[in-house]
Structures are given as structure tokens and as C-alpha cells.
């Protein structure tokens, strides 16, 4: 799949310093084929490597659906083929891991249905911004399949174990208000101003020090992975950050009472 071709089922796009990973199978409600899962890490890698991109939005080509889940017909074909089962499992795992561990901030832009594998993509992003049309659910119990452990941990990190059990054990679909109330999404935005609000937040992230964001994001992931105290690497980063160009500029701008012009882009 060519992620630079805007007719592909997954492609990348840019709007200034904002990169976009676009799910582009709206005719099938963005049902996620294995080829799409495989394209996601490639897209994340390309956007991470682009020095002009500071924030990554995960979006749908349609404003009526984010992703309605895995391609069930493809799952049915793979069910009796152990090699296909494993390749699909690994493709999903690597796609979600690439989003969770992207160097740059990631925002899932959720409009319409965000169910099953679509919700799996969203919960692995740093932020989830939903419009009032969003509907979210994790539905393996309705299909007789089991949610992966990695995804389960990600869900528990967001909403806690009791609410995660409620979502997983019932497979029920939440409206955006309930999703916000339990912490499954971070912001609920009226559909009339949705795109502008998302871009405003993404632009705010793009204006601050990318050196700071990059290292603090890694520290958050370290904590989520179980690290509870500084190691030699994190202690060195804390000491050395004050010598970096962004710190020099940030302190100077503060003293001069002007906006900082951060240049570091990794």
C-alpha cells in the first residue's frame, strides 16, 4: 500500500506542521483489513521522520465514521488458518504499538462510529477528541473473541479496571457524553466547530518546545510501562535539557516577555 497515494486505504497528508494519518475505506465504514493495519506503522514512521510535522492526527476520510472495527469477513477467512491468525494479530499489535510509541503527539479525531478495532486505534493515541456524533464501543464479547492483553492494559490505564470490565463484558456502545464521563475520550466537541477546535489544540502543541514534548512523552510511557524512579538515562536528560537550544530560547523569551521561537525538531 502506498501511503503517499490518497486513493490508498491508509495514506498520509500534511497541513502545515500538522500531519494526518487518514483511514480511507469509508464505503466499508473503515472496516480494518490486515493490509490497513500493516500500513499504519509505515505511516507513523514517515510522519515521525518528517521534520516539518510536529503533531499527528489520526482521522477518517469521512466525517460520519472513524472506524467500525475489524473486517469481519477477513477474520472469518483467517479463522481456520493459523498463519493468517498470527499475521493478523501481529499486524494489529504493531499498528497500535506504533501509535502509542510514536515520537510525536498523536490525536485520534473521532466522528461517528469508533468500535472494536477502531476504538483500539483511538485508545493507543495520546489524546481522543470526539464530536457529538461519536459512538464508541469494544465488542469482542458480541463476537465470541477475546480482547488482547496489550489493548486491555491500555483501556485500564484510561478508564480503570471496573469501567474496563463493564465495557469489555457487555460490548455496549457509548455515546460521546458517557465516553467523556468515564475518561474514554478527552474532549467532546460540537460537530459544528469540531475541525477548528482540533486544529487549535494541535497548533498549541506545535508551538511549544518539541524537545520538551518528545522527552516528556517518553517519560510518560516509561511510567505506563512500570518504571517508578529515575534511571541513569532520565537523570541525564533532566540535567542536560537546560543546555539545549530550546531551553536557552525559552528562558530568554520568558525574561524578555515575548513568545518563544523554538527551533528544535529532532
We report the CATH number of the domain holding residue 83 as 3.90.226.10
Q: What is the CATH number of the domain that holds 226?
A: 1.10.12
| 134 and 108 within one domain | yes
**pLDDT given for residue 167 in this prediction:** 97
pLDDT digits (tens, 9 = 90+) for 36-55: 999 999 999 999 999 999 99
Q: How many structural domains comprise the chain?
A: 2
- pLDDT, residue 86, reads 94
Asked whether residue 59 is assigned to any structural domain, the reply reads: yes
Helix axis angle for 149-159 and 161-170, nearest 10°, is: 130
Write the pLDDT tens digit of every residue in 211-226: 999 999 999 999 999 9
Q: How far is CA 178 from CA 58, 86, 134, 193, 199, in A?
A: 22, 34, 11, 20, 24
Residue 113 lies in a domain: yes
Same structural domain, 215 and 198: no
Same domain, 101 and 232: no
Is the domain of 221 the same as that of 199?
no
Q: The whole model's pTM is what?
A: 0.95
Q: Give the position of cell 467532546.
A: 188
Is the same domain home to 237 and 165? no
Q: Give the integer Cα–Cα distance in Å for 155 and 173.
A: 15
Residue 88 pLDDT: 92
Indicate if 222 and 110 belong to the same structural domain: no
Q: What is the pLDDT of residue 266?
A: 74
Angle at 18 between CA 158 and CA 69, to 5 degrees: 45
Expressed as residue numbers, the domain containing 230 is: 209-255
Give the torsion sign (CA, 14, 134, 123, 121). negative
Same domain, yes or no, for 96 and 149?
Answer: yes
Q: Which residues of the chain have pLDDT under 70?
A: none
Q: Please tell me the predicted confidence (pLDDT) of residue 77.
A: 81
| Residues 148 and 237 grouped into a single domain | no
| Residue 72, pLDDT score | 84
The pLDDT of residue 261 is 95
Amino acid at each position: 500500500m502506498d501511503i503517499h497515494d490518497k486513493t490508498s486505504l491508509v495514506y498520509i497528508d500534511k497541513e502545515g506542521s500538522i500531519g494526518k494519518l487518514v483511514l480511507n475505506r469509508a464505503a466499508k465504514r473503515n472496516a480494518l483489513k490486515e493490509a490497513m493495519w500493516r500500513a499504519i506503522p509505515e505511516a507513523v514512521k514517515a510522519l515521525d521522520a518528517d521534520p516539518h510535522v510536529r503533531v499527528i492526527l489520526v482521522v477518517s476520510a469521512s466525517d460520519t465514521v472513524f472506524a467500525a472495527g475489524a473486517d469481519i469477513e477477513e477474520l472469518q477467512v483467517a479463522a481456520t488458518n493459523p498463519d493468517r491468525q498470527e499475521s493478523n494479530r501481529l499486524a494489529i499489535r504493531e499498528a497500535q504499538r506504533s501509535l502509542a510509541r510514536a515520537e510525536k503527539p498523536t490525536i485520534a479525531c473521532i466522528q461517528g462510529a469508533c468500535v472494536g478495532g477502531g476504538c483500539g486505534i483511538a485508545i493507543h493515541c495520546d489524546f481522543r477528541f470526539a464530536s457529538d456524533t461519536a459512538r464508541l464501543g469494544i465488542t469482542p464479547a458480541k463476537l465470541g473473541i477475546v480482547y488482547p492483553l496489550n489493548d486491555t492494559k491500555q483501556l485500564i490505564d484510561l478508564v480503570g479496571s471496573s469501567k474496563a470490565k463493564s465495557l469489555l463484558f457487555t460490548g455496549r456502545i457509548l455515546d460521546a457524553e458517557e465516553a467523556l464521563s468515564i475518561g474514554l475520550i478527552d474532549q467532546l466537541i460540537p460537530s459544528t466547530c469540531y475541525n477548528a477546535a482540533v486544529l487549535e489544540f494541535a497548533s498549541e502543541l506545535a508551538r511549544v518546545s518539541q524537545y520538551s514534548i518528545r522527552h516528556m512523552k517518553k517519560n510518560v510511557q516509561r511510567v505506563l510501562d512500570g518504571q517508578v524512579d529515575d534511571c541513569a538515562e532520565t537523570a541525564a536528560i533532566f540535567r542536560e535539557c537546560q543546555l539545549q537550544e530550546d531551553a536557552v530560547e525559552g528562558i530568554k523569551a520568558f525574561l524578555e516577555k515575548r513568545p518563544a521561537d523554538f527551533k528544535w525538531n529532532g
